[in-house]
């Protein structure tokens, strides 16, 4: 059984991040603010998603538009989300945790639709960031209540401390194509922490922190969240490797008829 994280306020964000590889702020946005954010997400899905390229809009079932699963780069398409990404509290926390200026890289929507939402395989984001040094963070904001039933986030506490990435391989899961192939060691299981919480619960993890989420087992509830990826400004991106990685991935997804 994973330990459940239920602290409401971290004592010191940077100390906790350095020690654990993640922070949890409960809540980052209050219920009035979350209602507005959810209204804006619904507007974005209705008005903006139809204008986005296929490679940035993933569905659990491509033929069922109600099965929207993931969006990429939301902040590049919309002023509201651009402001949230560039000037909101997630960016300030990223700067504090990385002790650096940050570069805003991606803002994602993650949904696990009721009944069909797939698990998020255990992975380390830095494996596909291609950064040296690997100094980057991912923020994650629950748009609704999350728990074990609909697929809340799990971390392996302290996993950011090992400099080497774990071995990753193809998962076949759209949106999370790479997963750790030997996940489930005694160390993984002993240090597992899960993060159920209300809408507004915010997590931020280091790019080496191992994380995953279960499938959505509920037949009635979705599991919606926003992701915020920031690179440390001093980390160097291997642009050529990253472009080859992205191109190969997009081609694989097109060829397997997933996007
Ligand atoms: O929402 C999820 O299930 C996973 C999100 C994730 O892996 C990430 O933000 O890096």
- Looking at residues 160-176, what average pLDDT do you find? 94
Q: For the domain with range 3-255, which CATH number is right: 3.40.47.10, 2.60.40.1120, 2.60.120.620, 3.40.50.720?
A: 2.60.120.620
Atom 1 in ligand 1: which residue has the minimum CA distance? 110
Tell me which residue of 119, 227, 95 sits closest to 172, measured CA to CA: 119
Tell me which residue of 100, 108, 98, 111 sits closest to 56, measured CA to CA: 108
Cα separation, 229 vs 74, in Å, equals 11
Per-residue pLDDT at 109 exceeds 70: yes
Atom 4 in ligand 1: which residue has the minimum CA distance? 120
pTM over 0.85: yes
User: Is the C-beta atom of 126 inside 6 A of ligand 1?
Assistant: no
Per-residue pLDDT at 91 exceeds 90: yes
Per-residue pLDDT at 84 exceeds 80: yes
User: Is the C-beta atom of 120 inside 6 A of ligand 1?
Assistant: yes
What residues contact 169, with CB distance under 8 A and at least 6 apart? 178, 179, 181
Summary mean pLDDT of the chain: 94
User: Is the C-beta atom of 140 inside 6 A of ligand 1?
Assistant: yes
User: Is the C-beta atom of 69 inside 6 A of ligand 1?
Assistant: no
Per-residue pLDDT at 8 exceeds 80: no
CB 166, CB 183: distance < 8 Å = yes
Tell me which residue of 155, 201, 200 sits closest to 17, measured CA to CA: 155
223-242: per-residue pLDDT in tens?
999 999 999 999 999 988 88
User: Is the C-beta atom of 211 inside 6 A of ligand 1?
Assistant: yes
Cα separation, 206 vs 71, in Å, equals 21
Q: Where are the domains of the chain?
A: 3-255
Distance 120 CA to ligand 1 centre (A): 7
């Amino acid at each position: 059984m994973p330990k459940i994280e239920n602290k409401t306020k971290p004592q010191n964000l940077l100390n906790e991040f350095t020690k654990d590889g993640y922070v949890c702020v409960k809540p980052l946005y209050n219920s009035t603010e979350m209602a507005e954010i959810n209204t804006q997400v619904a507007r974005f899905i209705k008005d903006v998603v139809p204008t986005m390229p296929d490679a940035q809009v993933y569905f659990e079932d491509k033929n069922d538009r109600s099965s929207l699963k993931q969006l990429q780069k939301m902040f590049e398409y919309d002023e509201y989300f651009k402001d949230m990404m560039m000037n909101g509290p997630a960016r300030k926390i990223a700067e504090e945790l990385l002790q650096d200026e940050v570069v805003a890289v991606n803002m994602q929507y993650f949904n696990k639709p009721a009944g069909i939402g797939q698990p998020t395989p255990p992975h380390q984001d830095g494996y596909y960031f291609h950064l040296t040094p690997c100094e980057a963070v991912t923020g994650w904001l629950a748009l609704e209540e999350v728990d074990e039933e609909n697929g809340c986030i799990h971390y392996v506490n302290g996993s950011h401390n090992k400099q080497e990435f774990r071995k990753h391989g193809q998962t076949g899961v759209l949106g999370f194509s790479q997963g750790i192939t030997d996940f489930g060691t005694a160390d993984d299981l002993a240090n597992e922490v899960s993060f159920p919480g209300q809408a507004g619960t915010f997590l931020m993890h280091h790019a080496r922190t191992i994380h995953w989420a279960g499938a959505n087992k509920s037949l009635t509830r979705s599991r919606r969240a926003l992701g915020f990826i920031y690179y440390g400004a001093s980390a160097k991106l291997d642009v050529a490797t990253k472009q080859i990685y992205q191109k190969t991935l997009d081609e694989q997804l097109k060829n397997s008829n997933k996007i």
